[in-house]
Structure 1
Amino acid sequence: MTNTTLEAGLFPLTTPRLSMRPMIKADWPLFHRLHTDNAVIAQCFDPMPLDEIETRFEQRLTPWSPDAKHWLCLVIVETATQTPIGVTGFLLEQDVAEVGYLLLPPYHGRGYGTESLQAVTDFAIHRVGARIINATVTAGNLASARVLEKVWFQLSRIDPDAFAIGGVCYDDWIYTYTAA
């Protein structure tokens, strides 16, 4: 399946309130904000230099296919307003995917994280053949843990002192969803 086929036939992913489409250059302001807003990154990662954010953005613009060695990055758009509100996606290695998502603070607590995660999980399993989907949450990020649990991810392991934010080491909570 080529990237052209994927884009023509599979995107955007849609839910009752959202659509998710591949990232384009015009999404730079959203991507930059998601990577610099303290309310977004506080429980995810340390602030990054601008050149690192730009590099990550450029990597996510690379056309994606199921055999790609890079992340599928989708922009989450609120359908009613056509407002980009976050990003989601996954990295697929054979039949195991690592999923991730970031939402702008005004859209936290509205169920958009759950709704977009369900759509991406369904896509990864039913369209590209993932059998296992993992997500890593920094210990203490209870909102992200709840989102994962609502989509039937289960805490599968804890990696002690796996990640540092602001010079403080945190455990990684690894959540797993296994396709039936």
Structure 2
Amino acid sequence: METLFTPRFTLTPLAEHDWPFFLQLRQDDEIMRYMAEVAPEAAIRVLFDQRLQPWVPGAPQPLDFIIRAHGSDTPLGNIGLRHGDEGPAVAEVGYTVAVAAQGRGIAGEALQALCEFAFRQTGIRTLKAVIVAENGASARVLEKNGFQRVAVLKANYTLNGHTYDDWVYQLSREA
């Protein structure tokens, strides 16, 4: 899989040496508050190992990248996509940024590069994102990248004993 570049960041495919960072992100209550309950390390390792598998466009296997500033080994976040039940022309995007790196436009810049890659190099025609409605920062990242909210799923997601609405966003490739 290729490496992606933005004006400020390098997005490299997830690799075994990224395990400590991946674990750190998924054990951080601040980051996970809109994603999922913090899982035990063994369960996080299973998720990581699944994401290390080679990506094949159209297959359910996710494609993950680690985001770093150009010339730095320090990971700042991760971003990726995966196909769901809607076929190979549709993929869902997701991203996380380390708490210390948030608020600097990292997710937005990385998302732009991922969208360009998906539309240019794969058969993907539509990208989607599903976020917890309370996640205003993620909504702003999506909207700045041209995603439009296309649905509200009422009381769709239960996390840490609370039920939330989900917002569904979509961006389609220009014909």
TM range (shorter): over 0.9
> Residue in 2 aligned with 1:20?
11
CA distance in 2, matches of 1:121, 1:67: 16
2:54 counterpart residue number = 63
Alignment deviations for residues 39-98 of structure 1 (CA, whole Å, 9 cap, x no partner): 111122111122210110000000112133210011111114332111111013410010
Q: TM-score scaled by structure 1? A: 0.91
User: 1:129 and 2:123 equivalent?
Assistant: yes
> Is 1:82 aligned with 2:76?
no
For residue 73 of structure 1, give the secondary structure of its aligned residue in structure 2. strand
Deviation at 1:21, TM superposition (A): 1.2
- Amino acid in the other structure paired with 1:31: F
Partner of 1:154: 148
- Is the CA contact (8 Å cut-off) linking 2:80 and 2:114 kept in structure 1? yes
Structure 2: gaps of 5 or more residues: none
Secondary structure of 2:143's aligned partner:
helix
**Root-mean-square deviation (Å):** 1.1
Contact 2:61–2:82 (Cα < 8 Å) also in 1: yes
Cα pair 1:138 1:171 within 8 Å, conserved: yes
Unmatched segments (≥5 aa) in structure 1: 1-6
Q: How high is the TM-score relative to the length of structure 2?
A: 0.94
CA distance in 1, matches of 2:172, 2:13: 25
Question: Which residue identity does 2:24 align to in structure 1?
Answer: R
Q: Distance in 2 between matches of 1:85 and 1:57?
A: 17
User: In the aligned structure 1, how far is the partner of 2:105 from the partner of 2:71?
Assistant: 15
Runs of 4+ in 1 over 2 A off after TM superposition: none
Q: Which amino acid aligns with 1:16?
A: P
